[in-house]
Chain A
């Protein structure tokens, strides 16, 4: 195993890859104090454990990492070792500079060949995920190896290869993440997780593809399972939640109908009004008038 660390701005190898901030592989054979203090990261960091046992803290939570495990640290998250040093063992990693949008969604740069909706979905799933450690993902180790190989050998087409491999790394991690959260043994539990994610971010314009990806399923199977379990198509189920939440807000006098519409994920107050009336027979304003005090 050849150890190396390439850093953006210092290493010639990364000149054509401005989005790769760091790429490395390290066999740590002795403990050096203050080699890994906790700090806030600016980039997306992906670590793959090759040998040894690491105890890391990501966002105030402690995790044990074993060979084959992957740690995913997102921009703005606090990461390091509580003891301040890197433990004995081997690991490889990549740090990538990913754009962070205002809404909190992450999108990769122009180098990526992911479509806009694919990268939005991936970004959303990575952000909503609350377990930054993925166990037994040797596939990620393999991809990191290929990236290193391509960067060093610079064979024809290597630029495209490296960027595709980074895309592949993100896709692999995202798929693993959604499957890790959903064993398939328990659709009711899966559905509950989905329901929670929808509620947490009701104003988002959810697509069926996003919802399916969230629980690690293909769209067709997802549609069928949701319909079977809930009696509704995924989108209609979502409308259910939106209207129910809107009703609660309409019963409070201090939120405007337009705000309610947008907060609960309708495009406009017109869209809200039409959907609401179709189901309940009342427009939102009529409904509010009927339910507020002294009416």
Chain B
């Protein structure tokens, strides 16, 4: 019996799934790795720990679920978070940690480029919004602020490229992950000259471009031995987590979109054409030469509700955060739809799509004397989901969306899923038992192995039941409140900037005082 293994190098953890050839999950495991914030805007991960954690989890899964059942591993397919950058020296040794997607150190570089004519041209060519997350800007930051590392770097890799190189010896990057670097021309599938110039590098400093189906070489002998795998185990390079999640979400074809909400969130559609947006609000990533995944990301997903639970949840019992969040949801469900007119702008972490304003901040609006504690709970959840809708709404200016597919730990809370259906006024499908990134990677592998004729055919096999139907009367309430939410989100532009400036100043002033007085 053959099986397919998928490895997702995610934001906080590596997740490994094993599928039989019918697409059924026969085992899964995860392993956590930390993110280091040595400075406020910095967000880094240790590539060696990611590699070792991946190896450890893979080995455990093979030894516990795969080898004892006599499965033969046909292939291993990778996916990873987008936008990571790791500089390596001429011997392939990492120069410091990998910089993750959440890192904001390149704020200044991003602002300068975004406001220049070159910025617009690069966005149109590369499909990646001009934002500090983009490797283009991170490398430019390194050139300007860390010249020693920049000059010693023989290559700038994605974390996935590094890990695959450790396993097989090849420096490769797939079109899909490359299309999220801000350095790839998504129309010609070549490194974009203007972008390379801005970053201050030449194409030989990047990995070799290959399709998502490409074989990434042969597993080194030592790993064959330690993992108990054959030399003919195919290593498939795969894609990014966002593109795999979209592929696994069953939204192939016209009229569908997928909503992912974990800590952060995104609304995505698939198509054969790039979404051109004058205001540069969308990303357009390649899955293959034929398919673009387009959409908008938000910073403020489940992490905002977690923040709320930490501050205002009940922690009397020893069960911790998850239990506290469940109780809050129960309380929220007792509040009328629309929270009796209490609105919440969830911009605690600034915002990407659709307003792309790093200075945006959280707001409770419309508070009156009758509002109680539980109104805040519901308003917080509704605010997070209004924000998701505001992304969906601008996507609808370009695409027709008739139904939605949901994934991610926050979006799949039934209470939230129903609100999404109501706000969007569209049927929503949700399968509790599966993991869309892993499934996407399975579909890529199965297509490569010839089980499906094309990725198109593979994607059509994902069937999702419409299990949440919108309630008309709820939709009517939400749309009235949403129009106020939408106006508020841009109306406060100057005030957001003013308060963000004050907060930053305050934080740096306090930095010196806090050192003196601890209490």
User: Do the two chains bind?
Assistant: yes
Complex alpha-carbon distance, A61 and B49, angstroms: 35
Partner of A62, one of B34, B59, B321, B516: B516
Partner of A186, one of B31, B93, B225, B310: B310
Closest to A243 in B: B52
Residues of B within 8 A of A135 (CB): 519
Closest to A236 in B: B56
Residues of A within 8 A of B51 (CB): 244, 247
Q: Which of A64, A279, A280 has the most CB of B within 10 A?
A: A280
**Cβ-based interface call for B434 (8 A):** no
**Cβ-based interface call for B517 (8 A):** yes
**Cβ-based interface call for A147 (8 A):** no
A231 touches B225 (CB 8 A): no
Partner of A278, one of B53, B92, B226: B226
Complex alpha-carbon distance, A278 and B227, angstroms: 9
A231 touches B57 (CB 8 A): yes
- Mask of B44-78 contacts with A, CB within 8 angstroms, 1/0: 00101101110111010000000000000000000
**Cβ-based interface call for A195 (8 A):** yes
Residues of A within 8 A of B313 (CB): 185
**Cβ-based interface call for B117 (8 A):** no
Closest to A66 in B: B519
Residues of A within 8 A of B13 (CB): 230-231
In the assembled complex, the CB of A217 is this many whole angstroms from the nearest CB of chain B, namely: 10
In the assembled complex, the CB of A80 is this many whole angstroms from the nearest CB of chain B, namely: 16
Q: How many residues of A contact B (CB 8 A)?
A: 41
Known contacts A62-B516, A279-B226: does B56 contact A232 (CB below 8 Å)?
yes
**Cβ-based interface call for A240 (8 A):** yes
**Cβ-based interface call for B518 (8 A):** yes
Residues of B within 8 A of A282 (CB): 222
Complex alpha-carbon distance, A236 and B226, angstroms: 17
Residues of chain B from 81 to 114 with CB closer than 8 A to chain A in the complex? 90-93
**Cβ-based interface call for A187 (8 A):** yes
**Cβ-based interface call for A274 (8 A):** no
A286 touches B222 (CB 8 A): yes
Complex alpha-carbon distance, A64 and B91, angstroms: 53
Known contacts A62-B516, A133-B519, A279-B56: does B48 contact A186 (CB below 8 Å)?
no
Complex alpha-carbon distance, A286 and B31, angstroms: 26
- Mask of B481-519 contacts with A, CB within 8 angstroms, 1/0: 000000000000000000000000000000000011111
A133 touches B91 (CB 8 A): no
A185 touches B310 (CB 8 A): yes
Residues of A within 8 A of B224 (CB): 281
**Cβ-based interface call for B318 (8 A):** yes
B518 touches A63 (CB 8 A): yes
Complex alpha-carbon distance, A135 and B518, angstroms: 12
A229 touches B32 (CB 8 A): yes
B320 touches A291 (CB 8 A): no
Residues of A within 8 A of B46 (CB): 244
Q: Which of B223, B315, B320 has the most CB of A within 10 A?
A: B320
Q: How many residues of B contact A (CB 8 A)?
A: 40
In the assembled complex, the CB of A199 is this many whole angstroms from the nearest CB of chain B, namely: 9
Known contacts A244-B49, A291-B91, A292-B91: does B518 contact A62 (CB below 8 Å)?
yes
Closest to A132 in B: B518
Known contacts A63-B519, A184-B318, A186-B321: does B32 contact A232 (CB below 8 Å)?
yes
Q: Which of B52, B55, B320 has the most CB of A within 10 A?
A: B52
A280 touches B55 (CB 8 A): yes
A240 touches B91 (CB 8 A): no
**Cβ-based interface call for B29 (8 A):** yes
Partner of B318, one of A221, A230, A237, A280: A221
Closest to A190 in B: B320
A183 touches B315 (CB 8 A): yes
Residues of A within 8 A of B90 (CB): 293
A281 touches B226 (CB 8 A): yes
**Cβ-based interface call for B30 (8 A):** yes
B32 touches A230 (CB 8 A): yes
Residues of A within 8 A of B518 (CB): 61-63, 131, 133
- Mask of A222-261 contacts with B, CB within 8 angstroms, 1/0: 0001000111100011001101110110010000000000
Complex alpha-carbon distance, A245 and B445, angstroms: 33
- Mask of B202-225 contacts with A, CB within 8 angstroms, 1/0: 000000000000000000111111
Residues of chain B from 305 to 357 with CB closer than 8 A to chain A in the complex? 310, 313, 315, 318, 320-321, 324
Complex alpha-carbon distance, A212 and B34, angstroms: 19
B226 touches A247 (CB 8 A): no
Complex alpha-carbon distance, A68 and B92, angstroms: 57
**Cβ-based interface call for A277 (8 A):** yes
In the assembled complex, the CB of B222 is this many whole angstroms from the nearest CB of chain A, namely: 3
Closest to A69 in B: B519
Known contacts A280-B55, A280-B222, A281-B226: does B93 contact A251 (CB below 8 Å)?
yes
A-B contacts, 9 of them at CB < 8 A, read: A62-B518, A131-B518, A184-B320, A185-B313, A185-B320, A187-B321, A192-B34, A244-B49, A251-B93
Q: Which B residues lie at the A interface, using CB under 8 A?
A: 13, 29-32, 34, 46, 48-49, 51-53, 55-57, 59, 90-93, 220-227, 310, 313, 315, 318, 320-321, 324, 515-519
Q: A62-B518, A195-B34 are in contact. List 18 more A-B contacts (CB 8 A).
A: A133-B518, A185-B310, A185-B313, A186-B310, A187-B320, A225-B320, A231-B57, A240-B49, A244-B52, A247-B51, A251-B91, A251-B93, A280-B55, A280-B222, A280-B223, A291-B93, A293-B90, A293-B91
The 3 closest A-B pairs by CB, nearest first: A281-B226, A281-B222, A244-B49
